[in-house]
Chain A
Amino acid sequence: MSDKIKNKIITISFVVILFGVFIATILKKDETISASERRKLAQFPNINFENITSGKVAEDLDSYALDQIIFRDGFRSIKSFCSNYIFMQKDTNGLFLKDGMIYKMEYPLNSKNVKKSAEKIKSVCDKYLNENMKIYYSIIPDKNYYLNSDYLKIDVKDVQNIMKESLEKANYIDISNALNIDDYYMTDLHWKQENIQDVVKVLEENMNLNDTSNLNYQKEELGDFYGAYYGQLGMKVMPDKISILKNDTINNARAYNLEKNSYEEIYNMEKWKNSQDKYDVYLSGATPIITVENPNGPEGKELLLFRDSFGSSIAPLLLENYQKITLVDLRYVSSTILDNYIDFNNQDVLFLYSTVVLNQNILK
């Protein structure tokens, strides 16, 4: 190929790409939501004199152009591919793929944040809980914990060492040995409900509850599940399958959503159909306070479960031992106003939090 032809090809290719992307992006209808990333996309900015002179229009236009470019997901996939396979980086924006499973690096351990989380839990204990109540806490390891030593990860023992300084009155239940990497979704951070009966067993043993490990649940597979990490990584991987466990106790139970002032199913099939996050099928997902009532449960036996999103899928499996479980998510309700909604009397209390949440200091 002569230099002349080469120069023409270079010029034409460049112009075609520049104008092609420009025209295609202009013609494309603006999208409002990125389904893969589960976030709202920037819209065309509001242009007025104040926004122009303050530079806000320029900033907003940059965000708009970035979010609305044509083939956006395709570009993100190219980036992940190059980062992983050409530059051989071990992670892309903290996310990495190993043996078909997507991980997000939770590192380093933020001792101050864990300490603040522990202090928040302690403040709940001091303010609301009495000496007759049995108080437990447990830490859900991030799935990276089960990876080999090539990766940076937070050790649950280090988290526990910080937590125990603040939570002297609570009993620690170690569930890390009841889990392994297969108990987590491939594309999401959460554990699979159908794989956590060993965790339930450990909790029951330590909380002096009846052993329910012999119970038979009917497993109902709902369908494909693309977890939160799937969209963030931007690479094509096989979806997970999401399943729900059922038995008579769960079928007869019902959940009361305090925020909506309405009763809901334990497994919210509307959320399964319509929610961006299919994990919301378990007790309707993120909810400040929700109570689960088991009409056939042991008379007067109640559990206060302070939890994050992992708690939604394990709560139904704890129902056999309780007449009522109140799930409190301190990320969405302030710990200072809990007595407006909850009668603290003689309940069992379990603080069940993942290392991801404890490491971020997001409890209110």
Chain B
Amino acid sequence: MVFSSITFLFYFLPIVLGIYYIVPKKCKNIVLLIASFLFYFFGEPTYVILMAFSILITYIFGILIDKYKKTTYSKLFLVIAVVISVGLLVYFKYANFIIQNINLWLKNKIDFIYVALPIGISFYTFQMLSYLVDVYKGNAKVQKNILKLATYVSLFPQLIAGPIVRYTTIEEQLENRSHTFEKFALGVRRFVIGLGKKVLIANVLGELANKFLGSNEMSVLYYWMYGISATLQIYFDFSGYSDMAIGLGEMFGFDFLENFNYPYIAKSITDFWRRWHISLSSWFRDYVYIPLGGNRVSKIKWLRNIMVVWLLTGLWHGAAWNFIIWGLYFGIFLILEKLFLGKIIEKMPKIFAHIYVLLLVMISFIIFNGESTTQILTNIGGLVGIGNVPITSPESIYYLKSYLCVIVVGIIGATPLLKNIFNSKKLQKVTNVLEPIYLVLLLLISTSYIVDGSFNPFLYFRF
């Protein structure tokens, strides 16, 4: 079930909210747990068992790790739990990719396995790993109530597309959380804005990107329109989903951490990754980069650590070479920035730093979206006219006129401009009146787009 569906908005959500607020406090987690399993069951009727199994393993090994704390058994149990969790992820997500690449070197080919990728497995696996490691390190108390642990892992707002919520973030809230008008309204605001970002901008720009991919009338203008629309689409799609998840969390009394912080205003790639998918990059920092030694090792090992993290970041996004290249691409630029490029960028006028980031990010998403090396190279080369493509074509001009307004809204929406206006104390009286109207209109318009539209993918579902 996706948040931007009528089934979720006008059936699932009102029923769950209604029951959740009617039942006494002690039953609220149970309601959320049942709702979350139903939510997952709706999209993955068979893999719900896999998720339940993973939770059970995490629960048992969490207790074992805690019980044998400060002994070698504790580490052993952690390793076993990690191997099982990562093993399941590798089996379901990467097995065929591994077989495909091994087969390149074998005469007798290995048969592919027939498994579908369980929705959200990358997200909930990482949440469970963070819990196990935190319990092992003593950063989190072990959860002895399996229902509470299951509620944490399966919590439907963040279950299938993040953000990756750490156990320590909501450990206290699982026991005790507040429900106020203010918090609920804050949740509504985030949810409705996220819905609008997803439905009104990401989906519409996704249509443009798809029109480009299906076209035979290429032009330099069209390649740029594709690059820009794909870059905006992925941001509004994913950050919109994160906004909805955070908003839903607020409605149910949880405070999730931010996942995006206007990444397209970054002044370097290092800055970009502090603002983009924060829950994932901080996860890799805390559970891979730092345990490997971080930057407190020799220069060679430090560079190795960075590349390992970015190789894994790429792989996390998908079992294909373009994702690996995408991760390593960022790894290389991060290393260059740390070595010398960062200092050069700092001295540049801000505008050039922004252009540098946006160009690199746009190219990265062309790589990210590419289905083959040829397509990636063609789409990057097309930006500078390689392949004898004309500057414009009737189709590109038509779609530029047709989508220009959405692109401009997208560009403005990717900056904190509107947020600053709404948060301005000088304008508070006006914005307080306008905000409810604006949110109601946004909800109704987003619903109308869902009712009428057939194009409604969630890009981050594949992870």
- Determine if A18 and B436 form an interchain contact, defined as CB atoms under 8 angstroms apart: no
Q: Is the interface of B mostly helix, strand, loop or mixed?
A: helix
Q: Tell me if B204 and A21 are in contact (CB < 8 A).
A: no
The contact of B7 among A65, A76, A107, A152, by CB within 8 Å, is A65
Contacts of B394 in A (CB 8 A): 149, 152
Q: Is A69 an interface residue (CB 8 A)?
A: yes
CA distance A65 to B9 in the complex (A): 10
Which residue from chain A places its CB closest to the CB of B5 in the assembled complex? A62
* B 174-208 to A, binary, CB cutoff 8 A, 1 in contact else 0: 00000001101110110010000000100010000
Nearest neighbor of B406 in chain A, beta-carbon distance: A87
Tell me the smallest distance from the CB of B21 to a CB of chain A, in Å.
9
Contact present for A87 and B45 (CB under 8 Å) = no
- Shortest CB–CB separation between residue A299 and chain B, in angstroms? 52
The answer to whether the Cβ of B255 comes within 8 Å of any Cβ in the partner chain is no
Which residues from chain B contact A17 at a C-beta distance below 8 Å? 440, 443-444
A314 to B398, CA, bound (A): 34
Q: Please measure, in the bound complex, the distance between the C-alpha atom of A320 and the C-alpha atom of B195, giving whole angstroms.
A: 61
Known: A7-B181, A10-B185. A52 touches B45 (CB 8 A): yes
A340 at the B interface (CB under 8 A): no
Instruction: Please give the number of chain B residues whose Cβ is less than 8 angstroms from any Cβ of chain A in the complex.
Output: 57
Tell me if B439 and A79 are in contact (CB < 8 A): no
Q: Which residues of B contact A90 (CB under 8 A)?
A: 398, 401-402
Give the chain A neighbours of B204 by CB distance below 8 A: 87, 89
A11, A62, A80, A107: most-surrounded residue (chain B CB, <10 A): A11
Residues in A neighbouring B439, C-beta threshold 8 A: 10, 13-14
**A129 → chain B closest CB, angstroms:** 34
A1:B433 contact, CB within 8 angstroms? yes
Contact B452 A80 (CB under 8 A): yes
Chain B 418-433 per-residue mask, 1 if CB under 8 angstroms from chain A, else 0: 0000000000010011
Q: How large is the interface on A (under 10, 10 to 19, 20 to 34, 35 or more residues)?
A: 35 or more
In A50-107, the 8 Å CB interface with B consists of 52-55, 58, 61-62, 65-66, 69, 72, 75-80, 82, 86-93, 107
Complex Cα spacing A81 to B249, Å: 33
In Å, the complex CA distance between A320 and B436 comes to 67
Asked whether A78 lies within 8 Å of B445 as measured between CB atoms, the reply is yes
Look across to chain A and name the residue whose beta carbon is closest to the beta carbon of B217: A108
Q: Is B375 in contact with chain A by the CB < 8 A criterion? A: no
Q: Of B42, B188, B192, B436, which is in contact with the most chain A CB atoms at under 10 Å from its CB?
A: B436
- A48, B453: Cα distance in complex, Å: 29
Q: Are A7 and B182 in contact (CB under 8 A)?
A: yes
Of the listed stretches B12-20, B124-132, B260-268, B315-323, chain A binds: B12-20
B11: A residues at CB distance < 8 A: 22, 65
Once the chains are docked, how many angstroms separate the CA of A234 from the CA of B452?
9
Cβ-defined contact, A79 with B449, below 8 A:
yes
Q: Tell me if B445 and A82 are in contact (CB < 8 A).
A: yes
Assess whether A339 is interfacial by the CB under 8 Å rule.
no
The answer to whether B9 and A89 touch across the interface, beta carbons within 8 angstroms, is no
CB distance from B401 to the nearest CB of A (A): 6
Task: Give the residue name and chain of the B residue nearest to A5 (CB).
Answer: B432
Do A87 and B181 touch (CB < 8 A)? no
Are A108 and B14 also in contact (CB < 8 A) when A7-B185, A13-B436, A55-B43 are? no
Q: Identify A6's interface contact among B10, B18, B432, B451, CB under 8 A.
A: B432
What chain A residues lie within 8 Å of B443 (beta carbons)? Answer: 14, 17
Assuming the contacts A10-B189, A55-B43, A65-B6, asked whether A19 and B448 have C-beta atoms less than 8 A apart, the reply is no
| Distance in angstroms between the alpha carbons of A59 and B211 in the assembled complex | 25
What 6 A-B pairs are tightest by C-beta distance, nearest first? A7-B185, A78-B448, A90-B402, A79-B452, A79-B448, A75-B448
Known: A2-B432, A53-B46; 11 extra A-B contacts, CB below 8 A, are A6-B432, A17-B444, A18-B17, A19-B14, A21-B447, A55-B44, A55-B45, A61-B7, A76-B452, A108-B217, A234-B452
Would you mind naming 26 contact pairs between A and B with Cβ atoms under 8 Å apart?
Answer: A7-B184, A7-B186, A8-B185, A10-B435, A11-B185, A14-B439, A15-B17, A17-B443, A21-B9, A21-B447, A22-B15, A52-B45, A58-B45, A61-B7, A62-B7, A65-B5, A66-B450, A75-B448, A75-B452, A76-B452, A78-B444, A79-B453, A82-B445, A87-B204, A108-B215, A150-B401
